[in-house]
Amino acid sequence: MPDGENGESLGTVVVAGAANLAIALAKLVAGLISSSSAMLSEAAHSAADTATEVVLFAAIRHGERPADARHPLGHGRAAYLWAIVAACFTLVVGAGFSLTHGWQTITRGEDLGDIGVSYIVLAVSFAIESVSLWRALRQLRGEARRWRVSPGRLLERTSDTMLKAVVLEDAAALIGIAVAAVGLVLSQLTGSAVWDGAASIVIGLLLLWVALTLIRTNASLLIGQAPPASLQEKIKDVLAEQPEVEGVVELAAVLMGPGQILVAAKIDFMDETTGERLELAADQVERRLTERFPEIKQVFLDPTPGRSAAEEV
């Protein structure tokens, strides 16, 4: 990922974190005043999102550390590890609290207090979350235009786990706010706490889905996921079009962190390219490749005879 995009992701995470912290405190106060299960679940939701943003902020910073003797391929994958930790926090704290508290409300009932402040907090929270989501979607659309894919497709395959987390969590937050409002209205109209408890359970299930989605995505990236096939074909085309290259025998590309790609390729260089000329040719091919794709941080080229040449030997 170019430095500009990495900085944009960091800004997106900071904005989301600040918004979630303010919202979590407001929802907690409103939940205590109204004794609403859905409001307290929304407070846990925002608290989990806040913790997630803090962890993601640390992950971005850690992933930016340069390679060293113990970590020759860099620290990029640390972002995926910490993203899994953040998702687990959402799973345990957010989803766990919402599901259990909602069930207790349905089975034991509750006495709602003054819920007027809850409506105000939900309205303000919806506006703040909308701003945070708008910023994340703006970044997503910008990157989608750059890669010439749909925003939805990019969100599914992006290695920028921070951007994906913010988009999913902010979208879930807006849905959760709407669900909490509906639960409060129905409980107020019917006098039954079941609706408020049901809203809390829906919020918990929503958080459960977000957490499991992020855990699955980041686990795949942590193991070592290849970039999209279309990008691999473009890399292969750039390699093949270099004047020193006869053909690309084999190509392996791996995502080493958010927007960080490692490329290893077996290259059939021109027959007359030997010795010092081979070293120079390999250096030129690597330079042209990284200029074309700034996301490629490391390139390993293995001079290998093509299939026909290998068969003759």
- If asked whether residues 40 and 135 sit together in one domain, one would say yes
- Say if CB 180 and CB 201 are below 8 A apart: no
- If asked whether residues 148 and 126 sit together in one domain, one would say yes
- If asked whether residues 155 and 241 sit together in one domain, one would say no
pLDDT, position 10: 66
Host domain of residue 156:
5-223
Q: Is residue 313 domain-resident? A: no
pLDDT, position 202: 95
Q: How far apart are CA 212 and CA 172, in angstroms?
A: 13
pLDDT, position 8: 61
pLDDT tens, position by position, 151-207: 888 888 888 888 888 899 889 989 999 999 999 999 889 988 899 899 999 999 999
Q: Is residue 233 domain-resident? A: yes
- Say if CB 162 and CB 13 are below 8 A apart: yes
- If asked whether residues 124 and 183 sit together in one domain, one would say yes
Q: Which residues of the chain have pLDDT under 50?
A: 1-4, 308-313
The percentage of residues in the chain with a pLDDT greater than 70, rounded to a whole number, is 92
- If asked whether residues 256 and 179 sit together in one domain, one would say no
Number of separate domains in the chain: 2
Q: Is residue 309 domain-resident? A: no
Q: Are β-strands 260-269 and 296-303 bridged in parallel, bridged antiparallel, or unpaired?
A: parallel
Q: What is the 3-state secondary structure (H, E, C) of the chain?
A: CCHHHHHHHHHHHHHHHHHHHHHHHHHHHHHHHHCCHHHHHHHHHHHHHHHHHHHHHHHHHHHCCCCCCCCCCCCCCHHHHHHHHHHHHHHHHHHHHHHHHHHHHHHHCCCCCCCHHHHHHHHHHHHHHHHHHHHHHHHHHHHHHHHCCCHHHHHHHCCCHHHHHHHHHHHHHHHHHHHHHHHHHHHHHHCCCHHHHHHHHHHHHHHHHHHHHHHHHHHHHHHHCCCCHHHHHHHHHHHHCCCCEEEEEEEEEEEEECCEEEEEEEEEECCCCCHHHHHHHHHHHHHHHHHHCCCEEEEEEEECCCHHHHHHC
pLDDT, position 175: 95
Q: Supply the CATH number for residue 278's domain.
A: 3.30.70.1350
pLDDT, position 122: 92
- Say if CB 278 and CB 303 are below 8 A apart: yes
Q: How far apart are CA 14 and CA 18, in angstroms?
A: 6
pTM of the model: 0.81
- If asked whether residues 288 and 150 sit together in one domain, one would say no
- If asked whether residues 196 and 51 sit together in one domain, one would say yes
Q: Is residue 50 domain-resident? A: yes
